Amino acid sequence: MNSFEINKIVAAVIVTVLIVFGIGKISDVIFYKDSNVVAYKVEAPEGSSVQTSTESSVDMSTFLAMGDVSTGEKQFKKCKACHSINKDGRNNIGPKLWNVMFRPVGSITDYKYSKALSSYKKEWNWEEMNGFLIKPAKWIKGNKMGFAGLKDEKERASVILYLNQNSDNPKELP
């Protein structure tokens, strides 16, 4: 065996290693993408209809228990630029939010909603409000609320409790 042949063998080994390593990488990427798709499907809003009502109310009570009204009041500063919350508050850039929990979506008569909201035909129950506030643009496509969302669970639960509190008739927590 001369040194030229040894070189060829070494080269072949290196190429093999590269190929094996390369395939590993590629399948990593494919696997990663796949798992992303699955994760997305699970958290998609449409999926929530799959849950039974008992399941989701158990989840909601655990979720809402993370919040407290005074944190909600502080967090609501993020909403105040566009929304009033007091009983005698007015519409602003966004509709007035007194009594918003459990009223039909898009139902303030002297506020001009987007079509997305006025034709949504649901009420602001715990699940809807939670889903909406995570990422408004994703939950009701085409709505015009210019707010990115509240990712933090405690902050979001707190704001929902605060909204519930600012009502003629605060609802009992699930």
- Catalog residues that contact ligand HEC under the rule CB under 6 A: 78-79, 81-83, 93-95, 100, 105-106, 108, 113-114, 116-117, 124, 133, 143-147, 150, 159
Please identify, using beta-carbon distances, which residue of 102 and 147 lies nearer to ligand HEC.
147
Please identify, using beta-carbon distances, which residue of 144 and 154 lies nearer to ligand HEC.
144
| The two structure tokens encoding residue 78 | 């993020």
Instruction: Single out the residue of 71, 87, 57, 39 nearest to residue 160, CA to CA.
Output: 71
The nearest distance, CB 95 to ligand HEC, in angstroms, is: 4
The nearest distance, CB 28 to ligand HEC, in angstroms, is: 38
Please identify, using beta-carbon distances, which residue of 64 and 79 lies nearer to ligand HEC.
79
Instruction: Single out the residue of 147, 103, 141 nearest to residue 125, CA to CA.
Output: 103
d(CA 86, CA 107): 17
In total, the chain counts a number of residues equal to 174
d(CA 48, CA 28): 30
The nearest distance, CB 13 to ligand HEC, in angstroms, is: 60
Please identify, using beta-carbon distances, which residue of 56 and 161 lies nearer to ligand HEC.
161
For Cα atoms 22, 26, 29, give the angle at the middle one, nearest 5 degrees: 140
Residues 6+ apart with CB under 8 A from 126: 60, 64, 160, 174
The nearest distance, CB 129 to ligand HEC, in angstroms, is: 6
Please identify, using beta-carbon distances, which residue of 57 and 114 lies nearer to ligand HEC.
114
The nearest distance, CB 146 to ligand HEC, in angstroms, is: 4
